[in-house]
Amino acid sequence: MYDVGHFINGKEVDGRSNRFGEVFQPSTGQQVGRVSLASDSEVDSAVEVAKAAANRWRDASLSARVAVMERFRELLEKGADELAEIISRENGKLFLDAKGEVLRGMESVEFACGAPVHLQGAFSELIGSDIDAYSLRQSVGVVAAITPANFPAMVPLWMIPNALVCGNAVIFKPSEKDPSAGMWLANRFTDAGLPDGVLNVVNGDSEAVKALLAHPGVDAVSFVGSTPVARAIYEMASIGGKRVQALGGAKNHLMVLPDADLSLAADAAISAGYGAAGQRCMAISVVLPVGGVANELVQEIELRAKKVVVGDSMDPSAQLGPLITKQHRDRVAGYVAAAESTGAEVVVDGSDQMNRSGFFLGPCLVDKVSSGMATYRDEIFGPVLSVVRSKDYSEAIDLVNANPFGNGAALFTSSGKAARAFQRDARIGMLGINVPVPVPPAHFSFGGWKGSLFGDLHMYGPDGIKFFSRGKTVMTRW
């Protein structure tokens, strides 16, 4: 049993609140640690440390900031397996999935290393009599980075590197369900030469989040989580005059047209629906067969789903690991158990995996789902694929666009005309054409539309630089 405290002013410290959260190993169902849950006074102390450090860090040269980031990237690459094992142990994600998460996070670090280009301004000579004008970007101040349990390394790396190279100090609040990855990242930043106090980790629950949102010393808030919480954070932080980007949930559709390669589409549904146990905001949760392909496509998915190997997160033969908590596993299973009473048909029921030790649920496939059912309406966030049948493209795209979420969607087709129509018609932030999980690379930006994003700027990439810096225009006459 281990304890996880906080990381303040360049070192790990014990919590003072005498409140703790339990940390489990999802593959066994056993508690392996506990995490300190910060009080308001501990949050206040961390913000004061960050404020003092921010004043010094913003004056550091851009080359010095980038040098830290380059050293951190080297340490991240060397420690990728170690970090992946930490993630796998506390999150339940398969080791290979966890390793992939680290590598995707590393892309954002590499993008941040290009800050000298990303932060360039513009110059105009003689815009008036002996007057020149130029633009520049400067730091925001103290940034709160609040991240979810499902990607304990990648999502923080979407935020923290860009925030740091822009000259900000960061208060990082990881999920209390898997806090060790965040502490590992903080220690590696210190090893890379980041000055004390520039990055601080405050572990905690909703009390710590509320304290950060209300604190006048916090200038900006970056958040990824569920839509209800994202909306609340956006509203609370905005009222306090803070800059906010809050990414919410999703209900991502995979539309399959009659001319699609059904074998390819079925493979995509399996990997995109059951990868990471469905616990990702870009998971495919709705398969949308169009026209007469539904029966054959459902059969193809069923055959594959029944062959998925469920096992321990560190088992190299496993293809689907556990969910992160027992409570979440039981919630997800509840949707499947209730589906038939609402008129749906459970084709594959993974509840037989609930008999083993750990928080397991096997692949679930629910057919003949309608848009009014909870199975379709809610973000289930687990290994559940719902099949909604549509008679034609027009009905299918209307369904996609009527959904309150707008994170991602995919189309499988062999028609360039259909693909062009889809990319214009879909009111969704990220689209895939014969690509099931369209997560953009780090030199683009990540973010949805509608109830999947609160704020104007997307996550990481060029929008990340814009969010973590402020534009300023200067006019001079000499």
Give dist(CA 358, CA 29) in Å, integer.
Answer: 4
Give dist(CA 478, CA 411) in Å, integer.
Answer: 59
As a whole number of Å, the end-to-end CA separation of the chain is 67
Give dist(CA 127, CA 347) in Å, integer.
Answer: 69
8 A C-beta contact, residue 356 and residue 256: no
8 A C-beta contact, residue 8 and residue 49: yes
8 A C-beta contact, residue 233 and residue 385: no
Rg (CA), the chain: 23
Give dist(CA 205, CA 207) in Å, integer.
Answer: 5
Give dist(CA 401, CA 424) in Å, integer.
Answer: 12
8 A C-beta contact, residue 73 and residue 110: yes
8 A C-beta contact, residue 356 and residue 410: no
Give dist(CA 267, CA 95) in Å, integer.
Answer: 21
8 A C-beta contact, residue 89 and residue 181: no
H or E element that contains 301: helix 294-305
Give dist(CA 416, CA 185) in Å, integer.
Answer: 44
**HEC readout, 372-422:** CCHHHHCCCCCCEEEECCECCHHHHHHHHHHCCEECEEEEECCCHHHHHHH
Neighbours of 371 (CB within 10 A): 12
8 A C-beta contact, residue 143 and residue 219: yes
| Domains, the chain, with CATH or none | 2-248+452-477 (3.40.605.10), 252-433 (3.40.309.10)
H or E element that contains 11: strand 11-13
Supply the pLDDT for residue 402. 97
Supply the pLDDT for residue 129. 92
**Strands lying side by side in the sheet with 142-146:** 11-13, 6-8, 199-201, 169-173, 142-146, 220-224, 243-247, 453-454
Supply the pLDDT for residue 272. 97
8 A C-beta contact, residue 244 and residue 455: yes
Write out the catalytic residue numbers: 281
Instruction: Per-residue pLDDT tens, the chain, 478 aa: give them.
Output: 999 999 999 999 999 999 999 999 999 999 999 999 999 999 999 999 999 999 999 999 999 999 999 999 999 999 999 999 999 999 999 999 999 999 999 999 999 999 999 999 999 999 999 999 999 999 999 999 999 999 999 999 999 999 999 999 999 999 999 999 999 999 999 999 999 999 999 999 999 999 999 999 999 999 999 999 999 999 999 999 999 999 999 999 999 999 999 999 999 999 999 999 999 999 999 999 999 999 999 999 999 999 999 999 999 999 999 999 999 999 999 999 999 999 999 999 999 999 999 999 999 999 999 999 999 999 999 999 999 999 999 999 999 999 999 999 999 999 999 999 999 999 999 999 999 999 999 999 999 999 999 999 999 999 999 999 999 999 999 9
**HEC readout, 231-283:** HHHHHHHHHCCCEEEEECCCCEEEEECCCCCHHHHHHHHHHHHHHHHHCCCCC
Neighbours of 375 (CB within 10 A): 23
Bridge partners (DSSP) listed for residue 218: none
Neighbours of 456 (CB within 10 A): 12
> How far is CA 11 from each of CA 34, 48, 71, 276, 328, rounded to the nearest angstrom?
19, 16, 19, 32, 33
8 A C-beta contact, residue 449 and residue 404: no
Neighbours of 216 (CB within 10 A): 9
